[in-house]
Amino acid sequence: MKGRPEYDAVVVGGGPAGSTAACLLGESGHSVALLERRAYPRNKVCGGCLSQKTVRFLDRAFSLPVAALRREGLLDFAGTGYALYIGSRRILAEDLDEPVYFTGRERYDAFLAKMAARAGAEVHTGAEAAEIDHARRTVTTSDGDRYSARVIIGADGVHSRVRRTLPQSVVDRKRWHNNLGWTLELVIPRREAEALVNQDGPIRLDNGLATPHLALGACRWGYGWVFPNREAIIVGIGGLLSVNRNGLRRELEAFLKSVGLSAFADRKPAGYLLPLGNCIPSPAHGETVLVGDAGGFTGPLLGEGIFYAHRTAELAAHAADRHLTAGAPLAATYTALLRRRLIPELRAETALRNFVYRCLDARMHAPLAAFMRATNTLVIDAVQGTRSFRGFFRDDDLHSGVW
């Protein structure tokens, strides 16, 4: 077994969470190894939607304003409006004050990993973490390379091996499974979608296929989406796995039909798990912490995860820096930051999610529609990050810097 020199931090997984943590720790002068099992560019099943809170994060944390993101080719498409349905009934169709953007994860993730390398992190691709010894703080890859570090950051996504090797006391496995989501997604080349879209279903897509569409209740405790991108139209459906074990494929076919894309119903979708409200409140053990999907951090209403991957990685990197430079206890520092800056927000979003889907279960469509219309701008502001889900007040806990 080949031993690697001791690093300050080993980050397992090179998605948005891992690259953010590696980049911020590298910028602070720490020695970092980022282990990614695949090679860039690599895809990740994702709608690629970047809300304003993500865009704001990239500007604040990496000095990448929208103009720079465009220059780097990371913003493929801007959605300037949206349409919201309950089932197949249109509830809202409005312009957005600020757009949501759509990216391609191949380029987005490769760019972030390059940024981490520029900040001094060693990026090792083709390096799959196979064994993690939390007590000795070592990570051994499937090729037998052993990395030792003072800190381990688990950023290895929803199937996280780092998480699965933590003790039962850290991860409440029942709660994890109860709030795990299951998704199916189809990427349809734009030209084909434009040629074959029809107006036969109850949901009429706009002419230019430029408007993001969301349909709550397209499956149980979940929704369907049509996201426009430059070269493709991304159609997906996702909801809690516990109530959608069977039949999601049929529901995707029905959704494709309802949005006029039945021509693509026989294409094979990609399936992927998604945390949907199962964040681990104290995702830390000794000198190991979990960030992003590995710790269950996505917005429970819509499953938006890119922002939470960045933000949890920022909080974890800060806690790791305090630990490495001043001896602050890693687990306690990270957990305190999450409790102050993120978890209350996710709890409030979970309460809204529960309200919405309980109304749908009870077939209270009309009162739910009235509620959605009444609170619409507030919810949009919360998704975009200009308000908090907690009482819809303006609140900066989600955004303020910690360094």
Interface with ligand FAD, residue 13, by CB under 6 A: yes
Interface with ligand FAD, residue 321, by CB under 6 A: no
The smaller minimum CB distance to ligand FAD, of residues 317 and 369, is found at: 317
| Contacts of ligand FAD in 253-272 (CB under 6 A) | 272
Interface with ligand FAD, residue 305, by CB under 6 A: yes
| Contacts of ligand FAD in 58-97 (CB under 6 A) | none
Is 170 in contact with 227 (CB distance < 8 Å)? no
Among residues 257, 204, 258, 215, which one has the least CA distance to residue 85? 215
Question: Please, what is the minimum distance in Å from the beta carbon of residue 24 to ligand FAD?
Answer: 14
Euclidean distance between CA atoms 2 and 145, whole angstroms: 5
Question: Please, what is the minimum distance in Å from the beta carbon of residue 241 to ligand FAD?
Answer: 12
List C-alpha distances in Å: 234 to 93, 154, 201, 212, 228. 19, 29, 18, 10, 6
Interface with ligand FAD, residue 129, by CB under 6 A: yes
Q: Which spans in 214-262 are helix H?
A: 248-258
The smaller minimum CB distance to ligand FAD, of residues 148 and 298, is found at: 298
The smaller minimum CB distance to ligand FAD, of residues 104 and 260, is found at: 104
Question: Please, what is the minimum distance in Å from the beta carbon of residue 63 to ligand FAD?
Answer: 21
Phi, psi of 47 (to 5 degrees): -80, -15
Q: Which residue is nearest to ligand FAD (CB)?
A: 305
Rg of the Cα atoms in the chain: 21
Quick one: which of 185, 287, 321, 395 contacts ligand FAD (CB under 6 A)? Answer: 185
Euclidean distance between CA atoms 131 and 143, whole angstroms: 11
Question: Please, what is the minimum distance in Å from the beta carbon of residue 290 to ligand FAD?
Answer: 9
Query: Residues binding ligand FAD: what is the number (CB under 6 A)?
Result: 39
Interface with ligand FAD, residue 117, by CB under 6 A: no
Quick one: which of 4, 30, 37, 341 contacts ligand FAD (CB under 6 A)? Answer: 37
The smaller minimum CB distance to ligand FAD, of residues 293 and 395, is found at: 293
Question: Please, what is the minimum distance in Å from the beta carbon of residue 77 to ligand FAD?
Answer: 12
Interface with ligand FAD, residue 25, by CB under 6 A: no
Euclidean distance between CA atoms 74 and 51, whole angstroms: 13
The smaller minimum CB distance to ligand FAD, of residues 47 and 239, is found at: 47
Q: Tally DSSP H helices, then E strands, for the chain.
A: 12, 17
CA 341, chain centre distance (Å): 17
SS3 state of residue 155: coil
DSSP assignments along 315-367, one per residue:
HHHHHHHHHHHH---HHHHHHHHHHHHTHHHHHHHHHHHHHHHHHHHTT-HHH
Task: Give me the residues that bind ligand FAD (CB under 6 A), please.
Answer: 12-18, 35-38, 44-49, 128-129, 155-157, 161, 183, 185, 236, 238, 272, 274, 292-294, 298, 303-307, 309
